[in-house]
Structure 1
Amino acid sequence: MALEQYIQRIDDKLHLLLKKLQQVQAENVLLKEQLQEQEDILAVQQETIASLENKLHLTKMAGATGQGLPADAAADEEFRKEMRNKINDYIKEIDRCIALLNS
């Protein structure tokens, strides 16, 4: 009798353990889905931030050109360097596009 009771207790514990395993697996699936959703949201937010930072930068540059060159010499030189770098970046990008079209 004691052996049957012992086997029954092991069987009960096994069923309880399997039930807990199923619960943990279901929770794991749910957490993975939530994580994926959060990662998707984060990616969209990062793209939005990058886009807004670019727009802010372009707005600052456009504002500076719309109001004329800065008054002091240091700001004037910085503005010229920034504009020169931006133009050089555009030229490099255009050259890459032309090279891709030619190949």
Structure 2
Amino acid sequence: MVLEQYIQRVEEKLHLLVKKLQQVQAENVLLKEEVTIQQQALQQQQQAVQGLEERLQLMKIASTAQGGTTIAAEDDAFRKEIRGKINDYIKEIDRCIALLNS
């Protein structure tokens, strides 16, 4: 009799553990879905930020080209950056021309 009660208690505990396992697994699935959604949202926000940064850069270029004024220190840094980019573009164009000629 005592052995049967012991076995019954073990079975009850086992059933409880199985239920908890199923709950944890279901919660895990939901959390994984939420992580995926959050990652997609983050990626969209990063793309939006990148697009806005590119627009800001273009606006700075346009402003400088039109003779707009900016803060002196910012202007010098911006000009150096633009010169560097232009030099990179020229190097890339030269590489493309060299490839076309060969």
TM-score above 0.5, yes or no: yes
Q: Is the 8 A contact 1:64 1:70 kept in 2?
A: yes
Two-structure CA RMSD over aligned residues (Å):
3.2
Question: For 1:92 and 1:30, how far apart are their aligned partners in 2?
Answer: 50
Residue 83 (1) aligns with residue 65 (2):
no
- 1:30-63 C-alpha deviation (Å, 9 max, x unpaired): 1011101101111111111111111101101111
Q: How does 1:1-103 map to 2 (within 5 A)?
A: 1-66=1-66, 68=67, 78=77, 80-95=79-94
Number of residue equivalences: 102
TM-score (norm 2): 0.77
Structure 2 stretches lacking a partner, 5+ long: none
Q: Runs ≥4 in structure 1, deviation > 6 angstroms? A: 73-76, 99-103
Structure 1 stretches lacking a partner, 5+ long: none
TM-score (norm 1): 0.77
Q: 1:5 to 1:55 in 2, by over 3 A?
A: same
Bigger relative CO (Cα 8 Å, ≥ 6 apart): 1
Percent identity for Structure 1 against Structure 2: 64
